[in-house]
A = this chain, B = another copy of it.
């Protein structure tokens, strides 16, 4: 599959680059399909590629030696996977995997290092994204510490909705319980509650967003801070 011209690239970070910067990316990038559960960055292994998602969603998972796992950041076509490489870090204890299948442009680690070394504007755009990702992770910390399960679920669904085409995406209660770090039956109950409010429609292995505004209300103040900063720092014009 060929790497698209900038005009047709769907990744928002790449779409706002200067034309020659994009050309440099295009020269070293390759297009790949992302299958569900593919591991993009394995924990404590050398990072091989940076991914710019064109479609689909990736999740970054923090884990402990004892095996606790919880999602700390999600990325879609608004961002990139592989921030550690940008920060001159070769591997990370966190794992990043494909949560919703899609497609990405990827660049191998060595080429990426050269690229950002030679093109400061590129580095700056990516650095801005890295900061938004930090805000999102901080938002997750805040939310995990002080919002109810229902609010956190609403936040999660909104963030997912922001990153997919259409209003529906595949996700199981079990999966959500891992992402949110809670009990599976708790997720079931929370979903029923949101469904009762007419915000979503749940089907086996799928959730459809019906009323985004109501969902925002249900999320309370857990949703929005990183999203606003993204809009301020990374102006896509699309």
A interface residues (Cβ-Cβ under 8 A, vs B)? 60, 62, 64-66, 68, 70, 72-73, 83-84, 86-89, 92-94, 117, 120, 124, 127-128, 130-131, 133-135, 137-142, 144-146, 180-182, 220-222, 224-225, 228-229, 233
Contact = CB atoms under 8 A, between A and B. Distances in A.
Given A65-B221, A225-B93, A88 B127 contact: yes
A88 B128 contact: yes
14 contacts: A64-B225, A65-B224, A68-B142, A68-B221, A70-B141, A70-B145, A72-B138, A84-B131, A87-B127, A87-B128, A88-B128, A94-B138, A142-B144, A142-B181
Copies in the complex: 2
B128 A62 contact: no
A220 B66 contact: yes
A190 to B, nearest CB: 15
Given A64-B221, A137-B134, A222-B64, A145 B180 contact: yes
A86 B128 CA distance: 10
Contact of A141 (B117, B124, B141, B228): B141
Nearest to A147: B68
B62 A142 contact: yes
Given A220-B66, A221-B66, A87 B141 contact: no
A130 to B, nearest CB: 6
Contacts of A92: 131, 135, 229
A144 B117 CA distance: 37
B137 A138 contact: yes
Contacts of A144: 141-142, 144-146
Nearest to A121: B88
B89 A233 contact: yes
Contacts of A93: 135, 225, 228-229
B87 A130 contact: yes
Nearest to A124: B88
A153 to B, nearest CB: 13
A150 to B, nearest CB: 15
